[in-house]
Amino acid sequence: MSLPLFLVGSLPGEGAFRLDGPEGHHAADVQRITAGERLLLGDGRGGLATAVVTGARKGVLDLDVEGVEHVSAPAPAITVVQGIAKGERGELAVQLMTELGVDRIVPWQAARSIARWKDAKPLERWRSTVREAVKQSRRPWVPEVTEPVRRLDLAGFVLVLHEEAAVPLSAVELPSREITLVVGPEGGIAPEELDTLTAAGARPVRLGREVLRTSSAGAAAIAALSVRLGRW
């Protein structure tokens, strides 16, 4: 089984280190990690440290950091503009995309989004979901979750997932620069939004004959891209 990952603000060097705070509580009290076990520390910016536990008590682990490495960010990066979905569907989308390799998430208040964010709490939940998914999947990089947007002003290589598109994602020639995927909410992308995106150079693509939910479409597209880009 792979080593559990805990996120820290700043990666320590080799030698003694104390893991406390929320991550120390989770490691010592929830996962009940004890002396002699090994784990990973990550700073969410590519830094990873391997450590062995030398002591454990309530809310705290004492560690001996054995080695430190830096993992380069994947290139090209994958950004997903995710239509804001109702309830847990949006958080599920964020969780799956993070586990499968998204690098940046832009919450989109689309015309057909049923949910309307009235305060910062939904954004905080998305960001918390990302951190937990990073730990679950042992990712060296924590994806950015931006502030929500209403109007899309996208540049570069943009693909729009749309069930009526004629071109499959598998047939699109991929660039070496950043790739942006646009995923609509539960009601899909409104015709006027699709027109605006295509007029700006975005390319509508489909995943297959099946129509996926907003909670799974972005993750499926990232999986397909990960194979084509050599990430997997």
pLDDT tens for 177-220 read 999 999 999 989 999 999 999 999 999 999 988 889 999 999 99
CA-nearest of 139, 227, 222, 228 to 181 is 222
CA-nearest of 192, 2, 209, 211 to 110 is 192
Question: Can you give the pTM of this predicted structure?
Answer: 0.93
Domains annotated on the chain, with CATH: 5-70 (2.40.240.20), 78-228 (3.40.1280.10)
Cα-based torsion angle of the residue sequence 106, 157, 103, 115 in order, rounded to the nearest 10 degrees:
20
Residue 1 has pLDDT above 80, yes or no: no
pLDDT for 4 equals: 96
Q: Which residues have CB under 8 Å from 177's CB, separation 6+?
A: 76, 156, 157
The total of other beta-carbon atoms located within 10 Å of residue 125's CB is 14
Amino acid at residue number 107: P
Relative to beta strand 104-108, strand 78-83 is parallel
pLDDT for 209 equals: 87
Q: What are phi and psi of 65, to 5 degrees?
A: -75, 120
Tokens 């949910």 — which residue?
115
